[in-house]
Amino acid sequence: MKVRAEQNSTGPGETEATASTAGPKWARVHLTLVRLLLILTSTAKLVSIAGEQRFLAVQDPVLYLTNRAVLLIAALMELGVAAYLTWGRDMRLKHGCVVWLASTFLVYRLALWVTSPGSRCLCLGWVGDLLLIPPHLLDYALVTALVLMLVGSAWRLRAMRSAAEVPSAPSGSVSHTDSGQG
């Protein structure tokens, strides 16, 4: 009976080891939502760069590349992280990738704000214009999503590090230095 109860505590296809490293349910939901968001935003970027809109040939004020090149690089970064979130096994690396990507995009946003105050990020290319959301609200929503991605994964990384630092010596054991020998 005890073995059956332990088997039921893990999800389908999980062993005890993978279930414990996967973390709480909220962390798995967080990574799933991040993956879906990255797939959607990278698709919007790729659809946009396939077009011939004028803004694609304009130089980006932060990276000094064309907007087409910046959107392509960002889409490939997003797809790379989304792929690892889908098929990767190391939970620390998954959360680390999310922290890296969100930090990179937030630093870009900050640099854009400093170098070109008042200009908006073309994060979704022209596809963002199709949405029935005012551009400033869409911008706030995307920045909020980046902050939530960053905070959620950074929080989980911190929790994983704290759990790894817990001493694993059994209680009541005596080390060689405590036994009076040496």
**Phi-psi domain of 23 (left: phi exceeds 0; alpha: psi -120 through 50; beta: other):** left
Closest to 151 measured CA to CA, from 118, 112, 103: 103
- pLDDT-flagged residues of the chain (< 50): 1-21, 176-182
Computed over every residue of the chain, the mean pLDDT equals: 83
What's the pLDDT score for residue 57?
Answer: 95
Percent of the residues in the chain that have a pLDDT greater than 90, as a whole number: 60
Instruction: Give the sign of the dihedral formed by CA 156, CA 33, CA 110, CA 79.
Output: positive
Task: Quick: pLDDT tens for 89-115.
Answer: 999 999 999 999 999 999 999 999 999
- Cβ–Cβ under 8 Å, residues 91 and 17: no
Per-residue tokens: 94: 């998954």
Bridge partners (DSSP) listed for residue 66: 59
pLDDT at position 172: 55
Looking at the DSSP assignment, which residues form a beta bridge with residue 59?
66
At 59, is the secondary structure helix, strand, or coil?
strand
